[in-house]
Amino acid sequence: MQYRTLGRTGVQVSTLALGAMNFGRIGRTTQDEATAIVDAALDAGVNLIDTADMYGTGDSEEMVGRAVAGRRDDIVLATKATLPMGDGRNHRGSSRRWLVTELDNSLRRLGVDHVDLYQMHRWDPLTSDEETLSALTDLQRAGKIRYFGSSTFPAYRLVQAQWAAREHHLGRYVTEQPGYSALQRAAETHVLPVTEEYGLGVLVWSPLASGWLSGAVRAGRPATTSRAALMPERFDPAVPANRAKLDAVERLAAVADAAGLTMIQLALGFVTAHPAVTSAIIGPRTPEHLHAQLAAADTVLSGDVLDAIDAIVAPGTDLAPEEKFDTPPALLDPALRRRPRPAGPAD
């Protein structure tokens, strides 16, 4: 296992991090399976575990807490908040009111008195940066979190948050968690240059592109990943965007074969080769999935292999735009990009 410094924190973390999204109802992973996955990951040198409050509406945090009991000090423990936790109008977002409440809920589910990294799961357009950073700074001073970070923030929001922290003399985000893979390279255009500029640690989610780069998705046979079962439209070869991805996968598979690598090794080796990336978050659903992914722990791709990947999916190209979840709100809601109509005499 390789290790890198998490941004400018001085904390050393493994280049493969264990993501716990599949623990519980999302991946139907049992507690025994989750504990076996955590045990094997720690034995292999993984020391960063990433979860979130909304994974299984708390299931994942509870299962992680049971799995790490007695070993808390050996783990860099990360969780997230902001996405909805139930139907309550204020049981979501990045307000002080919600973050103070929900962090206590996460600590209770995890069975710990602090987390090492508390991340804002998405940018909350209803809450000011000053409000959020002020709350996070107070929680940090109270000893409930060691550091805080962001997840899937557009590049301009990362810059704005850094400015707000300086302007209001508050703690700042020290990490960002973007989606990034050999099929989803848009982060290279804006997000990763910004993280390098501000010295942010980068924890990449979906480095296997929702299973497209796992080796389980190939031409001429149906996709068998758990994501394919949940979202079949994203794997339907009749969809032009999916045909483009499938073509790229077949060409990437040929590169992997020529280099004597599995698709998983190629995919994880690709994201960890970027100088901005600290760790790739793997999200195994079973111990077998974990071992296949741990085989990439020491994979270092040659320049020729990286050039071959660039020739298939050009730098900055995004073949999986539906997975980004960082689209500016004004592109989704027409009302946000249209001035109100002036009132006329008839009004």
Token digits of residue 191: 């997000």
**CA–CA distances in Å: residue 79 to residues 28, 57, 87, 171:** 20, 13, 21, 18
260 token code pair: 């004597």
Residue 55 annotated in active site:
yes
Residue with tokens 């300086």: 166
Specify burial of residue 93 (Cβ count, 10 A radius: 0-12, 13-18, 19+). buried
Kindly state the DSSP code that residue 277 receives in the 8-state scheme: -
Q: Are 55 and 64 in contact (CB under 8 A)?
A: no
- In order, the DSSP letters of 107-121 are HHHHT-S-EEEEEES
Catalytic residue selected from 3, 55, 173, 180: 55
Contacts of 259-263 spanning 24+ positions with Cβ under 8 A: 259/301, 259/302, 259/305, 261/299, 261/305, 262/215, 262/292, 262/295, 262/296, 263/213, 263/214, 263/215
Q: What is the DSSP letter of 122?
A: S
Distance CA 24, CA 26 (A): 6
Burial degree of 118 (CB within 10 A; 0-12, 13-18, 19+): buried
Total Cβ atoms within 10 A of residue 244: 14
DSSP, res 233 = G
Active site residues: 55
